[in-house]
Structure 1
């Protein structure tokens, strides 16, 4: 079977990217997902502000004194006292508040980017435009690259909008309660920067997933399972292993191999949980999953028959 190559006008790479953006903006999905992302950010920011205000007010309360529960053992008293000291460390509570407020809505925002990126690829098969796309551009790697650039560009737009909302709201919040906003602290700057990286990597992961699972419903369901079940279920499974099979804290640290856990570890300004891996480990693991997904997707797309 001979493949007819249709002459291209302009720079091929730019033409492909423009074409992919046109496909994205020709559907209702992008603005529905975008509106959902904004609403989720606002709701999450409101909840984070309420929680942060309570924690900071409690930390500021110098009248409260430590009183161990009657009958507590020495070890329990030590743990309770350490918790009391942490809860009344004003600086730590302000940093924790800044980390959560300035990255409001990112958990579900990343999930929406994952779903939308998967749809960028599966739409070609859902609407049966894949054949025309690959006939127009026989070099399939260029098509996938164009989709990756478009998907990442859209993810960065989502991040920029939600980050602006969180930043403005956070500045007003910290000014209102009369404490520093901690934006000059590296841990908060890192949380914001790696939040952007999270959007980028989940977009790449979503495109790769869409190439692996061409059925649109299958790709959406798989994305939700990977993200939601992978986070809650992943930590749950590693906790069970730690409790009943391998009694070592390193088991809980190893939960970072799950993509959604790695993503949250990477973004959190402080440790996600006491035994969690360092933020840079989460970044490397998440980058590895994104590259693996995208690489396998490109290889399969090059070899599969498109009809």
Structure 2
């Protein structure tokens, strides 16, 4: 298992894709965080309020709100790059025990997503602290609310990596899988979430994985705009963990049926 896990990490991290995606996620998260953090100081009519730990959470939690597609795509690539470059046959011939191979891919996706999550959340923290400190404001960094949100954000982004590995095993075409996920997470789900935000009991919207991730992270700007942060962090983690488990199991079943050509 250790040998297979090491091999999976080497396959992915030896390419430029890993580094470019990591840089893109960090810059994307940091850029939006800087914009949101400066908003209260740019105009007196800004709806953004960062004066309390509870309100400042939305600035610290930009990464899980908008950049979760990156670890999701990373998880997909961990699996689909083997099909794209036709190396899956050699991998399975070298290690015929399919569960071991897929478990190594899950672990590789988990570890890689954790690195992505920690790096992007860390960048957001540095930006918020830098902006608030430069304006003479309290950063609330050591508040239990903020510390819990930071830890939750990293955990959420890590779980998205597991979801991606499962999706990659189910949809073997890398382009279709990645583009499909981008469309679903960045366009379809946000529109559906907005449309359903005022319809029926708000807890029902927790079935959306994006909302579950927002809640598990301790609340995001999207929750603040739509008023969907009505559940506990534990509930959000549970829903997102179920998504990760279901896609991992389904992906494992499909992976075990791959025929070596």
Verify same fold: TM over 0.5.
Answer: yes
* Equivalent residue number for residue 214 of structure 2: 264
1:135-154 paired onto structure 2 within 5 Å:
135-154=93-112
Unpaired runs of 5+ residues, structure 2, are: none
Q: Which residue does 1:156 correspond to in 2?
A: 114
Distance 1:44 1:105 in 2: 9
CA contact (8 A) 1:265 1:276 kept: yes
Q: CA deviation at 1:239?
A: 4.4
Shift of 1:96: 4.7
Change (3 A) 1:196 1:293: same
**What is the Cα deviation at residue 237 of structure 1?**
4.3
Task: After TM superposition, give the deviation of residue 209 of structure 1 in Å.
Answer: 0.1
RMSD over aligned CA atoms reads 2.4
Match of 1:49 in 2: 37
Farther off after superposition, 182-191 or 97-106: 97-106
How far apart are the structure 2 equivalents of 1:94 and 1:17?
43
Q: Which moved more, 1:126-135 or 1:256-265?
A: 256-265
What is the rounded CA distance, in whole Å, between the counterparts of 2:79 and 2:228 in structure 1?
37
Q: 1:274 to 1:97 in 2, by over 3 A?
A: closer
* Counterpart residue number, 1:181: 139
Displacement after TM superposition at 1:30 (Å): 0.6
Q: Which residue of 2 aligns with 1:127?
A: 85
1:256-305 CA deviation, whole Å, 9 max, x = no partner?
10111211222244754335431322221111101100011111211332
Which structure would you say has the larger Rg?
Answer: 1
For normalisation by structure 1, the TM-score amounts to: 0.76
Displacement of 1:113: 1.1
Taking structure 2 as the reference length, what is the TM-score of the superposition?
Answer: 0.88
Secondary structure class of the residue paired with 1:182: coil
The residue correspondences of 1:269-280 to structure 2 (distance < 5 A) are 269=219, 272=224, 273-278=226-231, 279-280=233-234
The reply to whether residue 18 of structure 1 matches residue 6 of structure 2 is yes
Q: Does 1:40 align with 2:34?
A: no
How do 1:40-119 and structure 2 match up within 5 A?
A: 40-53=28-41, 93-96=51-54, 98-119=56-77
Distance in 1 (alpha carbons) for counterparts of 2:6 and 2:89: 19
> Which piece of structure 1 moves more, 140-149 or 218-227?
218-227
Q: Distance in 1 between matches of 2:195 and 2:135?
A: 40
Higher relative contact order (CA 8 A, sep 6+): 2
Q: 1:296 — aligned with what?
A: 250
The answer to whether the Cα contact below 8 Å between 1:52 and 1:97 also exists between their aligned partners in 2 is no
Displacement of 1:230: 4.4
Question: CA shift at 1:58, angstroms?
Answer: 6.6
- Unpaired segments ≥5 residues, structure 1: 1-12, 60-86, 243-247
